[in-house]
Amino acid sequence: MSDTLTIIDNRTGKRYEVPIEYGTYPTYGAAIPTSDLRKIKVSDDDFGLLGYDPAFNNTASCKSAITHIDGERGILRYRGYPIEDLAANSSFLEVAYLIVHGELPTADALETWSWDILHHSIVHENIKKFMDGFRYDAHPMGILISTVAALSTFYPESKNIHDEAVRHEQMHRLIAKMPTIAALAYRHSEGYPYTYPDNDLSYCGNFLRMMFKMTERNYKPDPILEKVLDVVFILHVDHEQNCSANAMRSVGSSFPDPYVSIAAAAAGLYGPLHGGANEQVLRMLHEIGHIDHVPAYIKKVKNGDFRLMGFGHRVYKNYDPRARILKEMTPQVLDVTGKSPLLEIAVELERIALEDEYFIDRNLYPNVDFYSGIIYQAMGFPADMFSVLFAIPRTPGWLAQWAEMLEDPDQKIARPRQVYIGEDERAYVPVDKRG
């Protein structure tokens, strides 16, 4: 047996051999270098064959050692560690270290890393003035994206992306400042005074304080909610080559500073088919309004009127393991915050959908966004903050993808090909001669 693929071009009768390359195990992915297809030509002046794959449905854009998903079996691992083990035993900052550095930190390394992140959480005072320029009803994700891009102008040295020390400093800053900017965006929209970070609190405890502190002298985040948010953040750290990670790599491949690349990645996340889905889930549950209305709603989904938000995934053809953990945690949150009528509707929606042929035939299961919105709403976050809450923990994932891309000798500036289907060359017609 040889690890090659033989292709016969029926136009010419010629045979070609292309190598097959494997992931960690052959079952983790096997690919042919599609650039080898260019050898397949009908004549010398032929451009050669391309792979046509809109939306990268079956194209590996990189080799990556960060995250492994087995969508058929519902498996998600960061750097080899099952998501269930990390959710049960780790903390967000530890997982952020793991994703960025590739290994779990020693106790000393974790302490230094946590100190570095927690002590970069403050933003330049000009950011506050910048924030004031947004309309009172600006979507916080629009504010987050623009403000992260603006950080580029505060740290001009960040352009030195090939200097590892500079790169790491920007990583600390980005992971540290995302919650601060997120909270500023929220408080701006509510007209509340801005709250400065408190480095004595945990990453999530500080974020909850910056979000929700009002006139209390000593705001103490609820320990259960603080812990749940930390786990929710762990679940969102990375998810291999999705739309936003691909944006991070693609924009980053022209070598701008990481702030503008993160802004591009966050813009990819903003859309309702990606990180904007949990906001849509909540709106959908409100629209359904009562469990009795669930069957009629499902009927409309099956008619193709709209999609069931929080269901389906390009990669998972099984229950999303993140959704399972979130579903299990939801009662803990509601014990603190009080019952949510939306949870009842969500559970009924899931029950009916999972028994329905339409969803079974298409392998449509709840994804991470199905339960996260219910948890966030119960914790007091408004729906338009949900995609922001996705962007905060995804930042270390984007940074790991970016650094891996920069260090990968196979990578170049992203530049897909196209198959041109427009007009062939034609003569210009002056305007007075056009009919």
Residues near ligand CMC (CB under 6 A) are 239, 242, 273-275, 277, 301, 307-314, 362, 364, 367-369
Query: At its nearest, how many Å lie between ligand CMC and the CB of residue 159?
Result: 30
Strand 30-31 relative to strand 21-22: parallel, antiparallel, unpaired? antiparallel
State the minimum distance, in angstroms, from the CB of residue 336 to ligand CMC. Answer: 26
Cα–Cα nearest to 379, from 423, 336, 431: 336
Residue 36 known to be catalytic: no
* Cα 289 from chain centroid (whole Å): 29
Q: Which is nearer to ligand CMC, 68 or 239 (CB)?
A: 239
Name which of 11 and 362 has its Cβ closer to ligand CMC. Answer: 362
- Considering the candidates 68, 139, 188, 313, report the single residue annotated as catalytic: 313
Give least dist CB 163 to ligand CMC, A.
32
Distances (CA, A) of 117 to 105, 111, 128, 152, 169: 14, 10, 20, 18, 9
Residue with smaller CB distance to ligand CMC, 69 or 131 = 69
Measured from each CB, the residue nearest to ligand CMC is 312
Residue 99 vs 364, nearer CB to ligand CMC: 364
Minimum CB distance to ligand CMC, residue 394 (Å): 9
Nearer to ligand CMC, 346 or 364 (CB): 364
Backbone phi, psi, residue 413, to 5° = -60, 135
Q: For 315-340, b where at least 16 C-beta lie within 10 A, e where not — what string?
A: bbbebbbbbbbbbebbeebeeebeeb
CB count, 10 Å around CB of 81?
A: 16
313 is catalytic: yes
Answer whether 406's CB lies under 8 Å from 161's CB.
Answer: yes
How far apart are alpha carbons 11 and 342 in whole angstroms?
Answer: 59
**What CA–CA distance (Å, rounded) separates 96 from 68?**
16
Amino acid found at 149: A
- How big is the chain by its Cα radius of gyration, in Å? 24
| 6/20 Cα distance (integer angstroms) | 10
| CB 55 to ligand CMC: min, Å | 7
> Of these residues, 257, 320, 369, 384, which one is catalytic?
369
Contact 195, 205 (CB under 8 A): no
Task: Select 257 or 369, whichever has its Cβ closest to ligand CMC.
Answer: 369
Could you tell me the smallest distance in angstroms from the CB atom of residue 315 to ligand CMC? 8
Catalytic residue among 274, 286, 361, 424: 274
Q: Active-site residues: which are they?
A: 274, 313, 369
